[in-house]
Structure 1
Amino acid sequence: MKILITGGTGLIGRRLTLLLQKKGHQVVYLSRKKENIKDVIVYKWDISAGYIEPEALENIDYIVHLAGAGIADKRWTEERKQEIIDSRIQPIVLLKKYLQEKNNSIKGFISASGISCYGTDTGEARLDEHSLFGDDFLAYCCKLWEEETRNFTPARRTASIRTGVVLSREGGALPKMMLPVKWGVGSSFGDGRQWMSWIHIDDICQLYLQCIEDENITGPFNAVAPAPIRNAAFVATAAKVLKRPFWAPAVPAFVLKLLLGEMSAVLLGGNYIINKRMAEELSFNYQYPELETALQDLLK
Protein backbone atom coordinates (compact mmCIF):
# COMPACT_ATOMS: atom_id res chain seq x y z
CA MET A 1 0.00 0.00 0.00
CA LYS A 2 0.98 3.63 -0.35
CA ILE A 3 0.99 5.49 2.95
CA LEU A 4 1.32 9.24 3.46
CA ILE A 5 2.76 10.37 6.80
CA THR A 6 2.59 13.90 8.20
CA GLY A 7 5.30 14.54 10.76
CA GLY A 8 7.25 11.66 9.27
CA THR A 9 10.64 12.97 10.40
CA GLY A 10 9.58 12.91 14.06
CA LEU A 11 10.30 10.23 16.63
CA ILE A 12 7.42 7.87 15.79
CA GLY A 13 7.40 8.71 12.08
CA ARG A 14 11.01 7.67 11.49
CA ARG A 15 10.63 4.32 13.20
CA LEU A 16 7.22 3.62 11.68
CA THR A 17 8.59 4.34 8.20
CA LEU A 18 11.21 1.60 8.58
CA LEU A 19 8.59 -0.93 9.76
CA LEU A 20 6.23 -0.08 6.90
CA GLN A 21 8.97 -0.35 4.30
CA LYS A 22 10.08 -3.67 5.77
CA LYS A 23 6.52 -4.94 5.18
CA GLY A 24 6.72 -3.80 1.55
CA HIS A 25 4.62 -0.64 1.81
CA GLN A 26 5.54 2.61 0.03
CA VAL A 27 5.91 5.64 2.31
CA VAL A 28 5.73 9.32 1.32
CA TYR A 29 5.92 12.39 3.57
CA LEU A 30 4.31 15.80 3.73
CA SER A 31 6.77 18.36 5.06
CA ARG A 32 7.22 22.12 5.28
CA LYS A 33 10.44 21.81 3.30
CA LYS A 34 11.84 19.49 0.66
CA GLU A 35 14.31 16.96 2.05
CA ASN A 36 16.32 14.10 0.62
CA ILE A 37 15.36 11.03 2.65
CA LYS A 38 16.40 7.58 1.52
CA ASP A 39 13.53 5.58 -0.05
CA VAL A 40 10.96 8.28 0.84
CA ILE A 41 9.51 10.94 -1.47
CA VAL A 42 8.98 14.18 0.44
CA TYR A 43 6.22 16.48 -0.79
CA LYS A 44 5.85 20.06 0.36
CA TRP A 45 2.89 21.62 2.06
CA ASP A 46 2.21 25.04 3.56
CA ILE A 47 -0.65 24.79 6.00
CA SER A 48 -1.00 28.52 6.64
CA ALA A 49 -1.23 29.12 2.87
CA GLY A 50 -3.59 26.17 2.36
CA TYR A 51 -1.21 24.51 -0.10
CA ILE A 52 -0.32 20.86 -0.74
CA GLU A 53 1.92 19.78 -3.60
CA PRO A 54 -0.55 18.25 -6.11
CA GLU A 55 1.21 14.88 -6.51
CA ALA A 56 1.27 14.24 -2.76
CA LEU A 57 -2.22 12.72 -2.55
CA GLU A 58 -2.15 10.65 -5.73
CA ASN A 59 -3.02 6.96 -5.22
CA ILE A 60 -2.79 7.19 -1.42
CA ASP A 61 -4.27 4.28 0.56
CA TYR A 62 -3.70 5.56 4.10
CA ILE A 63 -2.77 8.78 5.84
CA VAL A 64 -0.98 8.69 9.21
CA HIS A 65 -1.18 12.09 10.91
CA LEU A 66 1.68 12.64 13.36
CA ALA A 67 2.36 16.35 12.82
CA GLY A 68 1.99 18.78 15.70
CA ALA A 69 3.95 21.36 17.69
CA GLY A 70 5.81 19.91 20.68
CA ILE A 71 3.86 20.09 23.94
CA ALA A 72 6.94 20.78 26.06
CA ASP A 73 9.05 22.78 23.60
CA LYS A 74 8.04 26.25 24.85
CA ARG A 75 6.33 27.89 27.79
CA TRP A 76 2.53 27.86 27.50
CA THR A 77 1.44 31.37 26.64
CA GLU A 78 -2.06 31.77 25.23
CA GLU A 79 -0.48 32.19 21.81
CA ARG A 80 1.52 28.97 22.23
CA LYS A 81 -1.57 27.06 23.33
CA GLN A 82 -3.39 28.09 20.17
CA GLU A 83 -0.36 27.08 18.12
CA ILE A 84 -0.40 23.61 19.73
CA ILE A 85 -4.08 23.19 18.81
CA ASP A 86 -3.81 24.64 15.31
CA SER A 87 -0.77 22.52 14.43
CA ARG A 88 -2.86 19.39 14.99
CA ILE A 89 -6.24 20.49 13.63
CA GLN A 90 -5.42 22.61 10.57
CA PRO A 91 -3.49 19.84 8.75
CA ILE A 92 -6.55 17.55 9.02
CA VAL A 93 -8.85 20.28 7.69
CA LEU A 94 -6.50 20.94 4.76
CA LEU A 95 -6.09 17.26 3.84
CA LYS A 96 -9.85 16.75 3.98
CA LYS A 97 -10.42 19.78 1.73
CA TYR A 98 -7.94 18.60 -0.91
CA LEU A 99 -9.32 15.07 -1.02
CA GLN A 100 -12.92 16.28 -1.23
CA GLU A 101 -12.10 18.69 -4.05
CA LYS A 102 -10.58 15.84 -6.07
CA ASN A 103 -13.42 13.50 -5.02
CA ASN A 104 -10.82 11.07 -3.71
CA SER A 105 -11.34 8.53 -0.96
CA ILE A 106 -8.74 6.63 1.05
CA LYS A 107 -8.92 3.39 3.00
CA GLY A 108 -8.12 4.95 6.35
CA PHE A 109 -6.98 7.95 8.36
CA ILE A 110 -4.92 7.12 11.47
CA SER A 111 -4.11 10.06 13.73
CA ALA A 112 -2.08 10.51 16.86
CA SER A 113 -3.79 11.75 20.01
CA GLY A 114 -2.71 11.64 23.66
CA ILE A 115 -3.62 10.04 26.96
CA SER A 116 -3.81 13.64 28.19
CA CYS A 117 -7.32 13.52 26.69
CA TYR A 118 -8.39 12.28 30.16
CA GLY A 119 -6.71 15.25 31.87
CA THR A 120 -3.10 16.04 32.68
CA ASP A 121 -3.39 14.73 36.25
CA THR A 122 -6.01 12.11 37.02
CA GLY A 123 -4.55 10.86 40.28
CA GLU A 124 -5.36 7.27 41.24
CA ALA A 125 -8.24 6.81 38.77
CA ARG A 126 -7.94 3.80 36.42
CA LEU A 127 -8.97 5.00 32.98
CA ASP A 128 -9.72 3.20 29.72
CA GLU A 129 -11.10 4.20 26.32
CA HIS A 130 -14.62 4.49 27.74
CA SER A 131 -13.60 7.11 30.33
CA LEU A 132 -14.66 10.73 29.88
CA PHE A 133 -12.46 13.49 28.51
CA GLY A 134 -10.84 15.79 31.06
CA ASP A 135 -11.41 19.52 31.39
CA ASP A 136 -7.92 21.08 31.18
CA PHE A 137 -6.04 22.50 28.19
CA LEU A 138 -4.46 19.28 26.87
CA ALA A 139 -7.74 17.39 27.22
CA TYR A 140 -9.50 20.13 25.24
CA CYS A 141 -6.79 19.95 22.57
CA CYS A 142 -7.17 16.17 22.25
CA LYS A 143 -10.96 16.46 22.14
CA LEU A 144 -10.80 18.80 19.13
CA TRP A 145 -8.11 16.61 17.55
CA GLU A 146 -10.17 13.45 17.79
CA GLU A 147 -13.35 15.16 16.61
CA GLU A 148 -11.59 16.23 13.41
CA THR A 149 -10.22 12.72 12.99
CA ARG A 150 -13.66 11.10 13.36
CA ASN A 151 -15.09 13.55 10.83
CA PHE A 152 -12.47 12.83 8.18
CA THR A 153 -15.10 11.77 5.66
CA PRO A 154 -12.75 10.98 2.73
CA ALA A 155 -11.56 7.95 4.73
CA ARG A 156 -13.57 4.75 4.98
CA ARG A 157 -12.43 4.39 8.59
CA THR A 158 -10.53 6.41 11.19
CA ALA A 159 -8.59 5.65 14.36
CA SER A 160 -6.98 7.76 17.10
CA ILE A 161 -3.85 6.54 18.89
CA ARG A 162 -3.87 8.00 22.41
CA THR A 163 -0.16 8.09 23.02
CA GLY A 164 1.44 7.58 26.41
CA VAL A 165 5.05 8.46 27.30
CA VAL A 166 7.00 7.03 24.34
CA LEU A 167 10.37 5.59 25.33
CA SER A 168 13.09 5.78 22.70
CA ARG A 169 16.83 6.29 22.70
CA GLU A 170 16.47 8.57 19.67
CA GLY A 171 14.57 11.37 21.41
CA GLY A 172 11.44 12.24 23.33
CA ALA A 173 11.32 12.22 27.14
CA LEU A 174 13.73 9.36 27.91
CA PRO A 175 17.13 10.92 27.02
CA LYS A 176 16.27 14.07 29.00
CA MET A 177 15.09 12.08 32.01
CA MET A 178 18.20 9.91 31.93
CA LEU A 179 20.77 12.73 32.03
CA PRO A 180 20.65 13.27 35.83
CA VAL A 181 20.50 9.50 36.35
CA LYS A 182 23.67 9.03 34.31
CA TRP A 183 25.33 11.76 36.38
CA GLY A 184 24.40 9.86 39.54
CA VAL A 185 21.80 12.37 40.75
CA GLY A 186 18.62 10.71 39.54
CA SER A 187 15.52 12.27 41.02
CA SER A 188 11.76 12.12 40.75
CA PHE A 189 9.48 15.11 40.12
CA GLY A 190 7.31 16.50 42.91
CA ASP A 191 6.38 13.74 45.34
CA GLY A 192 7.19 11.05 42.75
CA ARG A 193 3.88 9.29 43.25
CA GLN A 194 2.31 10.36 39.95
CA TRP A 195 1.63 7.51 37.55
CA MET A 196 3.51 7.22 34.25
CA SER A 197 1.75 5.32 31.48
CA TRP A 198 4.56 4.55 29.05
CA ILE A 199 5.20 2.54 25.88
CA HIS A 200 8.30 1.39 23.99
CA ILE A 201 8.77 3.02 20.58
CA ASP A 202 8.66 -0.36 18.81
CA ASP A 203 5.34 -1.28 20.44
CA ILE A 204 3.54 1.93 19.50
CA CYS A 205 4.81 1.62 15.92
CA GLN A 206 3.55 -1.96 15.77
CA LEU A 207 0.16 -0.64 16.88
CA TYR A 208 0.12 1.88 14.02
CA LEU A 209 1.10 -0.89 11.64
CA GLN A 210 -1.70 -3.12 12.92
CA CYS A 211 -4.21 -0.25 12.61
CA ILE A 212 -3.20 0.18 8.97
CA GLU A 213 -3.26 -3.48 7.99
CA ASP A 214 -6.40 -4.56 9.88
CA GLU A 215 -9.42 -3.03 8.12
CA ASN A 216 -11.70 -3.71 11.11
CA ILE A 217 -9.89 -1.32 13.47
CA THR A 218 -11.63 2.00 14.23
CA GLY A 219 -11.88 4.51 17.04
CA PRO A 220 -9.57 5.42 19.94
CA PHE A 221 -6.84 3.20 21.40
CA ASN A 222 -4.80 3.83 24.53
CA ALA A 223 -1.23 3.26 23.36
CA VAL A 224 0.38 2.31 26.67
CA ALA A 225 2.19 -0.71 28.09
CA PRO A 226 0.24 -3.02 30.43
CA ALA A 227 2.05 -1.85 33.57
CA PRO A 228 2.01 1.88 34.47
CA ILE A 229 4.58 2.87 37.10
CA ARG A 230 4.99 5.73 39.54
CA ASN A 231 7.49 8.44 38.63
CA ALA A 232 9.88 7.65 41.50
CA ALA A 233 9.83 3.94 40.65
CA PHE A 234 10.51 4.76 36.98
CA VAL A 235 13.63 6.74 37.84
CA ALA A 236 14.74 4.09 40.35
CA THR A 237 14.35 1.37 37.69
CA ALA A 238 16.39 3.42 35.22
CA ALA A 239 19.11 3.91 37.85
CA LYS A 240 19.16 0.15 38.42
CA VAL A 241 19.51 -0.60 34.70
CA LEU A 242 22.30 1.98 34.36
CA LYS A 243 23.92 0.85 37.63
CA ARG A 244 23.76 4.37 39.03
CA PRO A 245 22.69 5.56 42.49
CA PHE A 246 19.20 6.84 43.17
CA TRP A 247 19.44 9.02 46.20
CA ALA A 248 18.87 12.66 45.24
CA PRO A 249 15.80 14.43 46.71
CA ALA A 250 12.85 14.98 44.46
CA VAL A 251 12.64 18.21 42.46
CA PRO A 252 10.10 20.26 44.44
CA ALA A 253 6.83 21.01 42.71
CA PHE A 254 7.08 24.76 43.36
CA VAL A 255 10.45 24.89 41.55
CA LEU A 256 8.97 23.27 38.45
CA LYS A 257 5.99 25.63 38.58
CA LEU A 258 8.31 28.65 38.77
CA LEU A 259 10.42 27.41 35.87
CA LEU A 260 7.69 26.09 33.59
CA GLY A 261 4.45 27.76 34.62
CA GLU A 262 1.29 25.91 33.56
CA MET A 263 3.37 23.48 31.50
CA SER A 264 4.76 22.03 34.77
CA ALA A 265 1.52 20.00 34.92
CA VAL A 266 3.03 17.70 32.28
CA LEU A 267 5.78 16.66 34.75
CA LEU A 268 3.82 16.87 38.00
CA GLY A 269 0.64 15.26 36.73
CA GLY A 270 0.11 11.59 36.01
CA ASN A 271 -2.34 9.09 34.56
CA TYR A 272 -2.99 5.42 35.20
CA ILE A 273 -4.16 4.35 31.75
CA ILE A 274 -5.47 0.89 30.89
CA ASN A 275 -4.92 -0.46 27.38
CA LYS A 276 -8.32 -2.16 27.36
CA ARG A 277 -9.00 -2.20 23.61
CA MET A 278 -5.46 -3.24 22.69
CA ALA A 279 -5.65 -6.15 25.11
CA GLU A 280 -9.22 -7.31 24.54
CA GLU A 281 -9.94 -6.52 20.87
CA LEU A 282 -6.52 -6.69 19.24
CA SER A 283 -4.85 -9.28 21.49
CA PHE A 284 -1.81 -7.07 21.00
CA ASN A 285 1.52 -8.82 21.43
CA TYR A 286 3.88 -6.48 23.25
CA GLN A 287 7.62 -6.83 22.69
CA TYR A 288 8.27 -4.85 25.87
CA PRO A 289 5.46 -5.22 28.40
CA GLU A 290 7.69 -4.52 31.45
CA LEU A 291 9.63 -1.32 32.10
CA GLU A 292 12.91 -2.92 33.14
CA THR A 293 13.05 -4.98 29.94
CA ALA A 294 12.21 -1.90 27.85
CA LEU A 295 14.93 0.18 29.50
CA GLN A 296 17.46 -2.62 29.16
CA ASP A 297 16.83 -2.51 25.41
CA LEU A 298 16.93 1.27 25.13
CA LEU A 299 19.75 2.11 27.54
CA LYS A 300 22.21 -0.63 26.66
Structure 2
Amino acid sequence: MATIPWLADVLRGAGIQVVTHGDWLNRMRPGSFSPIGVLWHHTAATSSATNPHPALNICINGRSDLPGPLCQALVDYHGVFHVISAGRCNHAGTARASGPIPAGDGNTMLIGWEIDYNGVNQEMTAAQYNASVAATAAVLKQLGKDASYARGHRETSTTGKIDPSFVDLNVMRSDVAAKMAGGTAWSAIVDNSTAGRFTASASWGVSSYSAQRYGADYRYADPVAASDAAWYKFNVPATASYRVEAWWPAVSGYNAGTPYIIATTTGNQTVYVDQRVNGGQWRNLGTFTLPAGDANRVAVSRWSGSAGYVIADAVRLTRV
Protein backbone atom coordinates (compact mmCIF):
# COMPACT_ATOMS: atom_id res chain seq x y z
CA MET A 1 0.00 0.00 0.00
CA ALA A 2 1.29 3.46 -0.89
CA THR A 3 1.53 6.14 1.77
CA ILE A 4 2.24 9.87 1.82
CA PRO A 5 4.95 10.24 4.49
CA TRP A 6 5.77 13.64 3.00
CA LEU A 7 2.44 15.16 4.07
CA ALA A 8 3.52 17.02 7.24
CA ASP A 9 6.68 18.38 5.61
CA VAL A 10 4.81 19.59 2.52
CA LEU A 11 2.25 21.37 4.70
CA ARG A 12 4.93 23.02 6.82
CA GLY A 13 6.71 24.07 3.64
CA ALA A 14 3.54 25.89 2.62
CA GLY A 15 3.63 27.92 5.84
CA ILE A 16 0.90 25.95 7.58
CA GLN A 17 1.00 25.24 11.32
CA VAL A 18 1.09 21.45 11.70
CA VAL A 19 0.59 19.14 14.67
CA THR A 20 1.15 15.40 14.16
CA HIS A 21 -0.70 12.87 16.30
CA GLY A 22 0.81 9.63 17.53
CA ASP A 23 2.08 7.11 15.02
CA TRP A 24 0.46 8.92 12.10
CA LEU A 25 2.87 7.40 9.59
CA ASN A 26 1.48 3.94 10.31
CA ARG A 27 -2.11 4.76 11.29
CA MET A 28 -4.31 3.76 8.34
CA ARG A 29 -7.06 1.47 7.10
CA PRO A 30 -6.32 -1.71 5.15
CA GLY A 31 -6.68 -1.48 1.39
CA SER A 32 -5.20 0.44 -1.51
CA PHE A 33 -4.20 4.10 -1.38
CA SER A 34 -2.95 5.88 -4.47
CA PRO A 35 -4.21 9.46 -4.18
CA ILE A 36 -4.79 11.74 -7.15
CA GLY A 37 -6.76 14.53 -5.47
CA VAL A 38 -7.90 16.27 -2.28
CA LEU A 39 -11.41 16.13 -0.81
CA TRP A 40 -12.87 18.74 1.56
CA HIS A 41 -15.33 17.83 4.34
CA HIS A 42 -16.81 19.43 7.43
CA THR A 43 -17.02 17.49 10.69
CA ALA A 44 -20.54 18.60 11.80
CA ALA A 45 -19.06 19.45 15.24
CA THR A 46 -19.23 22.97 16.65
CA SER A 47 -15.75 24.40 17.14
CA SER A 48 -14.73 27.63 18.84
CA ALA A 49 -11.67 29.61 19.82
CA THR A 50 -11.59 27.80 23.17
CA ASN A 51 -12.58 24.39 21.74
CA PRO A 52 -10.85 24.46 18.37
CA HIS A 53 -10.93 20.77 17.42
CA PRO A 54 -13.88 18.95 19.05
CA ALA A 55 -13.93 16.20 16.40
CA LEU A 56 -10.24 15.32 16.61
CA ASN A 57 -10.66 12.19 18.73
CA ILE A 58 -13.40 10.84 16.46
CA CYS A 59 -11.33 11.54 13.37
CA ILE A 60 -8.43 9.57 14.86
CA ASN A 61 -10.35 6.67 16.42
CA GLY A 62 -13.54 6.58 14.39
CA ARG A 63 -17.10 5.77 15.44
CA SER A 64 -18.92 2.60 16.34
CA ASP A 65 -20.15 2.32 12.75
CA LEU A 66 -16.98 3.53 11.03
CA PRO A 67 -13.46 2.76 12.26
CA GLY A 68 -10.78 5.44 12.17
CA PRO A 69 -8.81 7.16 10.95
CA LEU A 70 -11.48 9.24 9.22
CA CYS A 71 -9.18 11.68 7.39
CA GLN A 72 -5.57 12.42 6.69
CA ALA A 73 -5.81 15.75 8.54
CA LEU A 74 -8.27 17.74 10.63
CA VAL A 75 -8.28 21.53 10.26
CA ASP A 76 -9.09 23.24 13.55
CA TYR A 77 -10.81 26.56 14.28
CA HIS A 78 -7.49 28.44 14.13
CA GLY A 79 -6.40 26.87 10.83
CA VAL A 80 -3.96 24.42 12.44
CA PHE A 81 -3.58 21.16 10.49
CA HIS A 82 -3.71 18.11 12.75
CA VAL A 83 -2.07 15.35 10.71
CA ILE A 84 -3.60 11.99 11.57
CA SER A 85 -2.63 9.53 8.85
CA ALA A 86 -0.21 9.02 5.99
CA GLY A 87 -2.32 6.25 4.48
CA ARG A 88 -5.81 5.18 3.54
CA CYS A 89 -8.65 6.62 5.67
CA ASN A 90 -12.41 6.15 5.87
CA HIS A 91 -13.55 9.55 4.64
CA ALA A 92 -14.83 9.37 1.06
CA GLY A 93 -16.58 6.02 0.55
CA THR A 94 -17.77 5.17 -2.93
CA ALA A 95 -17.22 8.16 -5.21
CA ARG A 96 -19.18 9.26 -8.23
CA ALA A 97 -17.28 10.93 -11.03
CA SER A 98 -16.60 14.63 -10.41
CA GLY A 99 -14.39 16.74 -12.66
CA PRO A 100 -11.22 14.74 -13.37
CA ILE A 101 -11.92 12.36 -10.45
CA PRO A 102 -13.38 9.13 -11.85
CA ALA A 103 -16.04 7.04 -10.17
CA GLY A 104 -14.62 4.44 -7.82
CA ASP A 105 -13.16 4.01 -4.36
CA GLY A 106 -12.85 7.50 -2.93
CA ASN A 107 -10.67 6.32 -0.05
CA THR A 108 -8.11 5.07 -2.57
CA MET A 109 -8.16 8.17 -4.77
CA LEU A 110 -8.50 11.08 -2.36
CA ILE A 111 -6.68 12.73 0.54
CA GLY A 112 -9.23 14.09 3.00
CA TRP A 113 -9.35 17.28 5.07
CA GLU A 114 -11.98 17.30 7.83
CA ILE A 115 -12.58 20.99 8.55
CA ASP A 116 -13.91 21.26 12.09
CA TYR A 117 -17.16 23.28 12.00
CA ASN A 118 -20.78 22.24 12.19
CA GLY A 119 -21.95 23.31 8.72
CA VAL A 120 -25.48 24.12 9.88
CA ASN A 121 -25.30 27.43 11.71
CA GLN A 122 -21.52 27.73 11.65
CA GLU A 123 -19.26 28.44 8.67
CA MET A 124 -15.58 27.65 8.49
CA THR A 125 -13.38 30.42 9.84
CA ALA A 126 -11.18 32.54 7.61
CA ALA A 127 -8.17 30.78 9.15
CA GLN A 128 -9.61 27.37 8.26
CA TYR A 129 -10.39 28.39 4.70
CA ASN A 130 -7.05 30.03 4.01
CA ALA A 131 -5.08 27.15 5.52
CA SER A 132 -7.14 24.60 3.60
CA VAL A 133 -6.55 26.43 0.31
CA ALA A 134 -2.80 26.64 0.98
CA ALA A 135 -2.64 22.98 2.01
CA THR A 136 -4.62 21.80 -1.00
CA ALA A 137 -2.42 23.79 -3.36
CA ALA A 138 0.75 22.37 -1.80
CA VAL A 139 -0.48 18.76 -1.87
CA LEU A 140 -1.72 18.97 -5.45
CA LYS A 141 1.65 20.33 -6.51
CA GLN A 142 3.27 17.38 -4.76
CA LEU A 143 0.92 15.01 -6.62
CA GLY A 144 1.55 16.74 -9.95
CA LYS A 145 -2.12 17.68 -10.33
CA ASP A 146 -3.92 20.96 -11.00
CA ALA A 147 -6.66 22.67 -8.99
CA SER A 148 -9.45 20.74 -10.72
CA TYR A 149 -8.41 17.75 -8.58
CA ALA A 150 -9.68 19.59 -5.46
CA ARG A 151 -13.28 18.55 -4.77
CA GLY A 152 -15.91 18.80 -2.06
CA HIS A 153 -17.52 15.69 -0.58
CA ARG A 154 -20.92 16.79 -1.84
CA GLU A 155 -19.52 16.60 -5.38
CA THR A 156 -18.34 12.99 -5.10
CA SER A 157 -20.79 11.48 -2.60
CA THR A 158 -23.21 8.82 -3.79
CA THR A 159 -25.27 9.09 -0.58
CA GLY A 160 -26.27 12.77 -0.57
CA LYS A 161 -23.58 14.28 1.64
CA ILE A 162 -23.77 18.08 1.88
CA ASP A 163 -20.27 18.90 3.07
CA PRO A 164 -18.50 21.21 3.08
CA SER A 165 -21.32 23.68 3.72
CA PHE A 166 -21.18 27.42 3.00
CA VAL A 167 -18.32 27.12 0.49
CA ASP A 168 -18.51 27.85 -3.25
CA LEU A 169 -16.37 25.00 -4.52
CA ASN A 170 -15.73 26.64 -7.88
CA VAL A 171 -14.34 29.68 -6.07
CA MET A 172 -12.33 27.34 -3.85
CA ARG A 173 -10.73 25.78 -6.91
CA SER A 174 -10.00 29.23 -8.32
CA ASP A 175 -8.30 30.17 -5.06
CA VAL A 176 -6.29 26.94 -5.08
CA ALA A 177 -5.24 27.59 -8.69
CA ALA A 178 -4.17 31.14 -7.79
CA LYS A 179 -2.20 29.84 -4.83
CA MET A 180 -0.50 27.22 -7.00
CA ALA A 181 0.44 29.93 -9.48
CA GLY A 182 1.79 32.16 -6.74
CA GLY A 183 -0.91 34.74 -7.42
CA THR A 184 -3.49 36.60 -5.40
CA ALA A 185 -6.49 34.78 -3.97
CA TRP A 186 -10.10 35.58 -4.82
CA SER A 187 -10.83 39.03 -6.24
CA ALA A 188 -13.94 40.49 -7.88
CA ILE A 189 -15.00 43.82 -9.43
CA VAL A 190 -18.52 45.21 -9.62
CA ASP A 191 -19.04 48.22 -11.86
CA ASN A 192 -22.16 50.37 -11.97
CA SER A 193 -23.05 48.58 -15.22
CA THR A 194 -22.46 45.02 -13.93
CA ALA A 195 -25.73 43.17 -14.55
CA GLY A 196 -27.50 42.03 -11.41
CA ARG A 197 -24.73 43.38 -9.16
CA PHE A 198 -25.43 47.11 -8.89
CA THR A 199 -28.65 48.73 -7.68
CA ALA A 200 -29.54 52.41 -7.36
CA SER A 201 -32.74 54.45 -7.31
CA ALA A 202 -33.91 56.65 -10.17
CA SER A 203 -32.36 59.61 -8.36
CA TRP A 204 -28.94 58.42 -9.53
CA GLY A 205 -28.14 59.74 -13.00
CA VAL A 206 -25.81 58.21 -15.60
CA SER A 207 -22.78 60.09 -16.93
CA SER A 208 -19.74 59.51 -19.13
CA TYR A 209 -18.42 63.05 -18.63
CA SER A 210 -15.05 62.16 -17.10
CA ALA A 211 -12.49 60.08 -18.99
CA GLN A 212 -11.32 58.79 -15.59
CA ARG A 213 -14.40 56.58 -15.35
CA TYR A 214 -14.19 52.80 -14.97
CA GLY A 215 -15.99 51.30 -17.96
CA ALA A 216 -18.40 53.16 -20.19
CA ASP A 217 -20.09 55.38 -17.59
CA TYR A 218 -20.76 55.99 -13.91
CA ARG A 219 -23.62 57.12 -11.65
CA TYR A 220 -24.04 60.44 -9.86
CA ALA A 221 -26.49 62.04 -7.45
CA ASP A 222 -26.88 65.17 -5.36
CA PRO A 223 -26.07 64.82 -1.65
CA VAL A 224 -29.13 64.55 0.56
CA ALA A 225 -29.80 63.89 4.25
CA ALA A 226 -31.67 60.68 3.52
CA SER A 227 -30.98 57.00 2.97
CA ASP A 228 -30.61 56.44 -0.78
CA ALA A 229 -27.48 54.36 -1.27
CA ALA A 230 -26.20 52.70 -4.43
CA TRP A 231 -25.26 49.11 -3.58
CA TYR A 232 -22.66 46.71 -4.95
CA LYS A 233 -23.44 43.00 -4.59
CA PHE A 234 -20.66 40.40 -4.27
CA ASN A 235 -20.67 36.63 -3.87
CA VAL A 236 -18.08 36.45 -1.08
CA PRO A 237 -16.64 32.91 -0.97
CA ALA A 238 -15.81 32.68 2.74
CA THR A 239 -15.86 34.76 5.89
CA ALA A 240 -12.41 36.32 5.76
CA SER A 241 -10.46 39.57 5.52
CA TYR A 242 -10.90 41.52 2.28
CA ARG A 243 -9.30 44.66 0.93
CA VAL A 244 -12.02 47.02 -0.29
CA GLU A 245 -11.09 49.41 -3.09
CA ALA A 246 -13.11 52.00 -4.97
CA TRP A 247 -12.72 53.68 -8.35
CA TRP A 248 -14.21 57.06 -9.13
CA PRO A 249 -13.58 59.81 -11.68
CA ALA A 250 -12.24 62.90 -9.91
CA VAL A 251 -13.70 66.31 -10.83
CA SER A 252 -13.13 69.49 -8.83
CA GLY A 253 -16.88 69.99 -8.35
CA TYR A 254 -17.57 66.48 -7.04
CA ASN A 255 -18.15 65.61 -3.39
CA ALA A 256 -15.40 66.08 -0.79
CA GLY A 257 -16.92 63.70 1.76
CA THR A 258 -18.53 60.78 -0.06
CA PRO A 259 -19.52 57.98 2.35
CA TYR A 260 -18.70 54.38 1.38
CA ILE A 261 -20.52 51.87 3.58
CA ILE A 262 -18.99 48.40 4.04
CA ALA A 263 -21.25 45.65 5.43
CA THR A 264 -18.86 43.71 7.71
CA THR A 265 -19.37 40.80 10.09
CA THR A 266 -19.68 43.28 12.96
CA GLY A 267 -22.01 45.75 11.24
CA ASN A 268 -21.76 48.58 8.75
CA GLN A 269 -18.59 50.66 8.72
CA THR A 270 -18.30 53.97 6.86
CA VAL A 271 -15.27 55.41 5.10
CA TYR A 272 -15.33 58.96 3.68
CA VAL A 273 -13.42 59.86 0.52
CA ASP A 274 -12.75 63.08 -1.36
CA GLN A 275 -13.97 62.47 -4.90
CA ARG A 276 -12.49 65.77 -6.12
CA VAL A 277 -9.05 64.10 -6.24
CA ASN A 278 -7.28 60.74 -6.73
CA GLY A 279 -9.56 59.65 -9.55
CA GLY A 280 -9.05 57.15 -12.35
CA GLN A 281 -7.38 54.51 -10.16
CA TRP A 282 -8.13 51.98 -7.45
CA ARG A 283 -8.08 53.61 -4.02
CA ASN A 284 -7.87 51.47 -0.89
CA LEU A 285 -10.71 52.01 1.59
CA GLY A 286 -9.29 49.54 4.09
CA THR A 287 -9.35 45.86 5.02
CA PHE A 288 -12.49 44.44 6.59
CA THR A 289 -13.86 41.06 7.69
CA LEU A 290 -16.78 40.26 5.40
CA PRO A 291 -19.28 37.44 5.80
CA ALA A 292 -19.60 34.67 3.22
CA GLY A 293 -22.54 34.69 0.82
CA ASP A 294 -24.08 36.55 -2.09
CA ALA A 295 -25.35 39.90 -0.84
CA ASN A 296 -24.92 43.67 -0.94
CA ARG A 297 -21.49 44.34 0.56
CA VAL A 298 -20.50 47.93 -0.31
CA ALA A 299 -22.59 51.04 -0.86
CA VAL A 300 -22.06 54.66 -1.87
CA SER A 301 -24.33 56.85 0.22
CA ARG A 302 -25.80 60.23 -0.70
CA TRP A 303 -25.88 61.21 2.97
CA SER A 304 -22.99 63.66 2.84
CA GLY A 305 -22.46 67.00 4.52
CA SER A 306 -20.39 68.22 1.57
CA ALA A 307 -21.59 69.83 -1.64
CA GLY A 308 -21.09 68.37 -5.11
CA TYR A 309 -22.19 65.22 -6.87
CA VAL A 310 -21.70 61.90 -5.10
CA ILE A 311 -20.24 59.37 -7.55
CA ALA A 312 -20.78 55.60 -7.74
CA ASP A 313 -18.48 53.93 -10.28
CA ALA A 314 -16.69 50.62 -9.44
CA VAL A 315 -15.73 48.61 -6.33
CA ARG A 316 -13.18 45.78 -6.02
CA LEU A 317 -12.85 43.19 -3.23
CA THR A 318 -9.68 41.11 -2.79
CA ARG A 319 -9.13 38.49 -0.10
CA VAL A 320 -5.95 39.10 1.87
TM-score by length of 1: 0.26
Q: Which has the higher strand share?
A: 2
Q: Which has the higher helix share?
A: 1
Larger Rg belongs to:
2
